[in-house]
Structure 1
Amino acid sequence: MKKFNFLGFRFLFRVERENRDDVQVYSDTYQLKDRMVYFLVFLMIISLSSQLGNIFQRNKYIDKDIIKENIYAPRDVKYKDVLKREAIIKDIVEESEKKYIYLPEIGKKYSRGLNEFYDEILQIKEKKIKNFDYDFFEENYKLKIAPEIVDGVLDLSKREINSQRKDLMEILDKVYSHGIREGETFITTMAGKDFKDKELSNIEFKVLDIFTFPNYVYDRERTKFEIKKRVDGIEDQYTTVKAGELVLKKGELLDKEKIQVLNALGIYSFAETVLRFSVTGIYLITVSVIAYNIVTTKFKKELSNKNIYGATFLVFALLFFIFRFFGKDYLYLIPFETGFFLLQILVNSAYAFYFGIIALIYITPMINYDMVYFVITLLTILFATRFLGSVKTRVQFINLGIQLAIVKLIIYFSITFLTFGVSETVLLDSTKIILAGIFSGVLTLAIVPYLERSFNILSSFKLLELGDLSNPLLRDLSVKTPGTFYHSMMVAAVSEAAAEAIGADPIFTRVASYYHDIGKMKRPKFYVENQEGGENPHDKISPFLSALVILAHTKDGFEMAKKYKVPREIRDIMLEHHGTTFLAYFYNKAKSLDENVREDDFRYSGPKPKTKESAIIMLADSIEAAVRSIEHKTYNNIEEMIRKIIFNKLEDGQLKDADLTFKDIETIIKVFTKTIIGIHHVRIKYPGQEKESEENKTDEN
């Protein structure tokens, strides 16, 4: 235990290893959790390794550094050139004309002021007033007129004053008509205008300067609005660097523009590289925690199966190694959908969807957080999930791959066109997307058989192959035991309908029904459906031996199927479809010969059905044989027989491990009855028809 004091508080830390007993360690739950930890840690290591290499790069650059060696672009890069856009904006700001508000009253006011100035001068000259009224001009015009200017004008004769007044009024009117902008003076205004026809004295310049005020006031808000409108119209600027192009020469001084190019190529300063690595680690840890909680809860059953877990691990390993070493250069040529398709075929659509999203999230750091690719692939996964469940044949998978490529192309072209515009890179990537779509379907079909065989996984394609009646095992069944073959077909029809009705797997149920009795091929004549009205071998042997023969057909079928490499899931049905059912007929015969006979010797070895599909096949197997023995096959007779058989199975505890609800059982009864009536072409009699039928029979007699 660690202890330390800080600010008057004592902190205690204890790290202990969790104690697990053997039951916990070897339980399915803990094994599942351990598997997911290994799986996610593997993904984190591969993803983080894409960032790790940058830390150990020999050259790390910062602003004002000298380039140590020639740097060439390792791949084609198109990046957002922020500095180019900023330069365009700067030019716009510098070239933009400032906006002003015209104030005509300014010119009128100060022209009037100049006129009143000369009126005041002339009145002094004519002795009408003694002194110049400086306060008047300061109060009314906010002007401070220097005494020397007044004295300078008073030194002139009356005629010269009137002449000067006329000339300066004309000049001032002309100045105001041309406009005086805020920040300008009379001198700067005169410099920019054509007033060279008049030679002005120093005093005249000073007088005009006093009465010259801007009549165009700078409109800051309007100017900013006009500049902003032009700047908003500037699109993001992009620069393309071709693979192998010399980006920076040895000995060059590094500036912001060159750093921007290096960042686009993934060459960062050491501090930024470490920061990016750390943020990526935090990102991966966060998504790992989320992914762990989702998949261990939602896919506990699938991941508890070590074969499915192994196949998933292998698919991810192959996909991630491809992205790790080829992702940046051949990003749009990599058939990401292949991994998605494989998981759907080997497991199911929901599993493929969630793990497809997980794969995309972990791949993102390896492609330098390319958000265009992320969005395109995410939308493609959503689109594929919608249609993947309806794909049943190999050709449909190839077609779906091409359809997804078209969808990706449309999304990619839309995003890139609106963002970058059309370029050679966009057209090249579009071609890669189409090729990847074609490859994804073909590659999936090429890899699936190896994964099925290596991990012994019963995929939907494998089921369709096993369900082909030309399969050697089924062909032998139809030739050697035609009665059992017909019985299996009937069980398949009844079971498939019931499985679909309660949400079980109808295809698996049908195919498993085909194979459930193949063990009868070893001694076909010992089963009544294959005797064809001939001699019954059981009449010549003891009931003990008869029981051994009958009980053996489940294990015989299991071994035969193993030899033909039938998947374990179907072989389990062969053992479970009779559960631990009791052979009452042979037991009673044996008991009449020996009172000490053991009941357990006349029970199937089991195990009892563990799945809904296995339980349905057990019930259908018993019911199909029993219904054939009903002489008058009416709806009521058939339903009554079905209920009786199912009740006996329930009472005997044969269905306790199958996870069937009472609602499921009632649904199964209804579907069994309807399907069997359809198979045997039984006409349903409505109320009153049965009585009428009996009367007709009486009349005939």
Structure 2
Amino acid sequence: MKDHINAIYKNHSQFYKILLFVVTTILIVFIFPKSGRFKYNFEKGKPWQTENLYAPFNFAIQKSNVEVLNENAIITSQTSRFFNKKADLAAEVSDSFEENFGKVFNDTLRDYKKIKSKGFSILKDFYKYGILSQDLDLNDQDKVVILVDNVEKKITTYSNLQKLGAIKTTIDKELKGSSLETYSNRLTALFFDVIKSDLTYNRALTDNVLKESLSKVSKNRGVVDKGTLIISKGEVVNDEKYQVLTSLSKEYESQVWSKSSYNWIIFAYTLLVALALLMLLLFIRKYRLDVYKNNTKVTFIFFNVFIMVLLTTLIVNYNSEYVYLVPIAILPLVLKAFFDARLGLFTHVITVLLLGSIVPNSYEYMFLQIIAGIVTILTVSELYKRANLFISVGQITLVYIIAYFAFFVIHEASIDNLKWETFGLFVLCGLATLFVQPLIYVYEKLFGLVSDVSLLELSDTNSKLLKELSNKAPGTFHHSLNVANLAEASANEINANAMLVRVGALYHDIGKMKSPTYFTENQSSGINSHDELSPKESAKIIINHVLDGIEIAKKNNLPDRVIDFIRTHHGTSQVYYFYMKEKANHEDVDINDFTYPGPKPFSKETAILMMCDSVEAASKSLKEPTSSKIDNFVENIINKQKDDGQFLNADITFKEIESIKKVLKRKLANIYHLRIEYPE
């Protein structure tokens, strides 16, 4: 039992990765749509490339959206509009007209009776169907049903209803050309005093009737029987065939599957997802072993894949037309910020392949997203520069638009029906991609990772910790700046992370702040503090600057990637000067008392720092430096480190070490301003 527990503990990292792999697979399969998928791809106007297709079951031919909209428009125009009419209002207005007529027109007028008769006639016409208080947004030919006490009384058209705003026009029209035309204004004024609206639009009843009528519209137009030939190989997919194929595709995906079929679909999705994630895991293991060994980093990568799949699935389930709103390009941006371009692109491709099984127009979608991912990787360099991100997002958006436009023209052979709103989605997607900056900050806090943005902040020599170093140990601070410059140039030469190694160099000796006068670069008074100590005590103080540096770094919340430079910049080398001094006084000397605790450098960047630190520190002892002296000096120091096995754990090659030597020789020659000797 104990052996099993030890084996599990020994391989706990592998067990964790297996668990992570299984959990991620289950979660992705869980959120995927569980319907079957139509196995054929087809495009309008293109030949049918596969074998003859026969109907696998009976299904209805669904009407196109245009057909349904046209039918709805016809029914909407034919549906009656309902108005409630006040039954007694016309008689009330007539009485009021009779009462007020004598006040407006004198009974001594020659046309008194004629005017009165004409007024009652116009009034009767007004209330024949009724008067509306305001004009409604209806067509003149729309059918109107007039209700009195909720009982149908009259049927007419909207044009026959009188509107209050048109009363003057109607009266002028009635009196024009007659002997009564001169009384038009007074008659109009009288009408406005007595007339009242007796019609009210019954919107609720109208909407209910319209809704009921629209609900009776069939979404289908015919049925295809099982076994019927739908399309032959090589036959062009015209409008009719396209509608039949689309109907079959929708019917196939919307079927209620049996429990057995459902389980098979789940099993198939599980295989696809597991295969894709396995490829990602194997890629990390083969080409990014340092990432593979770090469970936090592997979790981070799988988490981002799951988040992108989750967002896309939610959008597809809501409305697949908005699928391009999901900023998939954030994924390679984030991974490039924390790792490298190759891992970012591979992860992006795997994620897009996963999404290809659930999005509509999968080939078009995958082409657009993979191209966008490639553009992201190629264009975004130095993400910490804001202008670079904006330029890259603009290029990504442009690529989306160009590719979508090309696909649309291929499908439609014209741009007449181009969906301009889709371009708006691409622009919104580009704007959403800018969210990568705050997202990177959040990820740094959640997963303890370090991006170039954070490294740029740490490289500021005005930061609190570096200011303290320059005040307490100015010599060490100056040494760190020189090492940073050498290390950055060396990293650029072999394509290592120059920003990371520069930051590591700036902070690698912060432990010397604890006892600055015990280090020669800070001894400005000419007094050596080690003169009063034994070699063993001196060696302990020198060695402890590594442990002190780690302690200070952790108190100041420096990232682990930076602390690694403090741990490894001396590897397991010896404090050779005090070792030899102790050996001169005592025969039996334990070399472990004069050896740094390590570990040895385990990356290109930490190996670069070890070389640059040793060379820069020792270069202060050069007297009358010449090119040959510097060349031999650099060769001796780095070859000794190589012979001691300090670089065995770092993924750095002999060729890269030789390149670093050349950089250091050139830089030191520049520092000491070596010139050729001119004859006197």
What TM-score do the two structures reach when normalised by structure 1? Answer: 0.63
Whether 2:25 is the aligned partner of 1:41: answer: yes
Report the residue type matching 1:664 in the other structure.
Answer: E
CA contact (8 A) 1:578 1:618 kept: yes
Structure 2 counterparts to residues 578-657 of structure 1, below 5 A: 578-591=570-583, 595-657=587-649
Whether 2:542 is the aligned partner of 1:557: answer: no
Structure 1 pair 327/583, CA: closer, same or farther in 2 (3 Å)?
same
For residues 37-93 of structure 1, give each alpha carbon's deviation from its aligned partner in whole angstroms, at most 9, with x where no partner exists: 336624651464453899xxxxxx96368x9xxx9x9xxx97999xxxxxxxxxxxx
Partner of 1:325: 314
CA contact (8 A) 2:480 2:508 kept: yes
Q: For residues 4 and 667 of structure 2, what CA distance do their matches in structure 1 show?
A: 52
Whether 2:673 is the aligned partner of 1:678: answer: no
SS of the residue corresponding to residue 255 of structure 1 reads strand
Q: For residues 316 and 32 of structure 2, what CA distance do their matches in structure 1 show?
A: 14
Q: For residues 248 and 20 of structure 1, what CA distance do their matches in structure 2 show?
A: 69
SS of the residue corresponding to residue 577 of structure 2 reads helix
Report the residue type matching 1:494 in the other structure.
Answer: L
1:638 to partner: Cα distance:
0.9
Structure 1 pair 270/369, CA: closer, same or farther in 2 (3 Å)?
farther
Q: For residues 463 and 21 of structure 1, what CA distance do their matches in structure 2 show?
A: 41
CA contact (8 A) 1:340 1:353 kept: yes
Q: For residues 673 and 613 of structure 1, what CA distance do their matches in structure 2 show?
A: 19
Structure 1 counterpart of 2:254, from 245, 265, 268: 268
Structure 2 counterparts to residues 397-436 of structure 1, below 5 A: 397-420=389-412, 421-422=414-415, 426-436=419-429
Partner of 1:51: 35
Report the residue type matching 2:643 in the other structure.
Answer: E
CA contact (8 A) 1:612 1:659 kept: yes
Partner of 1:663: 655
CA contact (8 A) 1:583 1:602 kept: yes
Partner of 2:297: 308
Partner of 1:174: none
Structure 1 pair 562/641, CA: closer, same or farther in 2 (3 Å)?
same
Partner of 1:439: 432
Report the residue type matching 1:384 in the other structure.
Answer: T
Structure 2: gaps spanning 5 or more residues? 39-55, 69-212, 225-242
* Sequence identity (%): 26
Structure 2 counterparts to residues 55-204 of structure 1, below 5 A: 63=58
Q: For residues 263 and 507 of structure 1, what CA distance do their matches in structure 2 show?
A: 53
1:512 to partner: Cα distance:
0.8
Aligned residues: 492
CA contact (8 A) 1:50 1:366 kept: no
1:578 to partner: Cα distance:
1.0
Report the residue type matching 2:642 in the other structure.
Answer: L
Partner of 1:509: 501
Structure 2 counterpart of 1:255, from 217, 223, 234: 223
Report the residue type matching 2:419 in the other structure.
Answer: V
Q: For residues 446 and 278 of structure 2, what CA distance do their matches in structure 1 show?
A: 30
CA contact (8 A) 2:31 2:313 kept: yes
Partner of 1:455: 447
Structure 1 pair 253/346, CA: closer, same or farther in 2 (3 Å)?
same
Structure 2 counterparts to residues 236-255 of structure 1, below 5 A: 255=223
Report the residue type matching 1:430 in the other structure.
Answer: F
Partner of 1:143: none
Structure 2 counterparts to residues 470-485 of structure 1, below 5 A: 470-485=462-477
Structure 1 pair 79/658, CA: closer, same or farther in 2 (3 Å)?
farther
SS of the residue corresponding to residue 493 of structure 2 reads helix
Structure 2 counterparts to residues 519-598 of structure 1, below 5 A: 519-591=511-583, 595-598=587-590
Q: For residues 80 and 325 of structure 1, what CA distance do their matches in structure 2 show?
A: 29
CA contact (8 A) 2:375 2:395 kept: no
SS of the residue corresponding to residue 358 of structure 2 reads helix
1:591 to partner: Cα distance:
4.5
Structure 1 pair 286/499, CA: closer, same or farther in 2 (3 Å)?
closer
Partner of 2:345: 353
Report the residue type matching 1:63 in the other structure.
Answer: N
CA contact (8 A) 2:337 2:383 kept: no
What TM-score do the two structures reach when normalised by structure 2? Answer: 0.65
Partner of 2:197: none
SS of the residue corresponding to residue 332 of structure 1 reads helix
Report the residue type matching 2:421 in the other structure.
Answer: L
Whether 2:478 is the aligned partner of 1:494: answer: no
Structure 1 pair 293/43, CA: closer, same or farther in 2 (3 Å)?
farther
SS of the residue corresponding to residue 329 of structure 2 reads helix
Partner of 1:125: none
1:253 to partner: Cα distance:
8.1
CA contact (8 A) 1:340 1:352 kept: yes
For residues 448-486 of structure 1, give each alpha carbon's deviation from its aligned partner in whole angstroms, at most 9, with x where no partner exists: 011112111122222222112222212222222211111
Structure 2 counterparts to residues 344-383 of structure 1, below 5 A: 344-383=336-375
Partner of 2:42: none
Partner of 2:330: 338
Report the residue type matching 1:440 in the other structure.
Answer: T
RMSD: 3.7
Q: For residues 53 and 657 of structure 1, what CA distance do their matches in structure 2 show?
A: 50
Report the residue type matching 2:301 in the other structure.
Answer: T
Partner of 1:384: 376
Q: For residues 496 and 255 of structure 2, what CA distance do their matches in structure 1 show?
A: 58
Q: For residues 497 and 217 of structure 2, what CA distance do their matches in structure 1 show?
A: 65
1:343 to partner: Cα distance:
1.3
Structure index of larger Rg: 1
1:437 to partner: Cα distance:
0.4
Structure 1 pair 611/631, CA: closer, same or farther in 2 (3 Å)?
same
1:395 to partner: Cα distance:
3.2
CA contact (8 A) 1:47 1:363 kept: no
Structure 1 pair 292/551, CA: closer, same or farther in 2 (3 Å)?
closer
Q: For residues 408 and 455 of structure 1, what CA distance do their matches in structure 2 show?
A: 31
Q: For residues 354 and 52 of structure 1, what CA distance do their matches in structure 2 show?
A: 28
CA contact (8 A) 2:535 2:582 kept: yes
Moved more, 555-564 or 604-613: 604-613
SS of the residue corresponding to residue 469 of structure 1 reads coil
Q: For residues 657 and 280 of structure 1, what CA distance do their matches in structure 2 show?
A: 41
Q: For residues 216 and 418 of structure 2, what CA distance do their matches in structure 1 show?
A: 22
Q: For residues 668 and 219 of structure 2, what CA distance do their matches in structure 1 show?
A: 89
Q: For residues 367 and 47 of structure 1, what CA distance do their matches in structure 2 show?
A: 13
Q: For residues 589 and 607 of structure 1, what CA distance do their matches in structure 2 show?
A: 25
1:374 to partner: Cα distance:
2.1
For residues 383-421 of structure 1, give each alpha carbon's deviation from its aligned partner in whole angstroms, at most 9, with x where no partner exists: 222223464513321331122112101211221133245
1:279 to partner: Cα distance:
6.3
Structure 1 pair 38/248, CA: closer, same or farther in 2 (3 Å)?
farther
Partner of 2:287: 298
Report the residue type matching 2:255 in the other structure.
Answer: S
Q: For residues 597 and 65 of structure 2, what CA distance do their matches in structure 1 show?
A: 69
For residues 111-161 of structure 1, give each alpha carbon's deviation from its aligned partner in whole angstroms, at most 9, with x where no partner exists: xxxxxxxxxxxxxxxxxxxxxxxxxxxxxxxxxxxxxxxxxxxxxxxxxxx
CA contact (8 A) 1:48 1:365 kept: no
Structure 1 pair 483/79, CA: closer, same or farther in 2 (3 Å)?
farther
CA contact (8 A) 2:58 2:223 kept: yes
CA contact (8 A) 2:25 2:274 kept: no
CA contact (8 A) 2:635 2:661 kept: yes
Report the residue type matching 2:499 in the other structure.
Answer: I
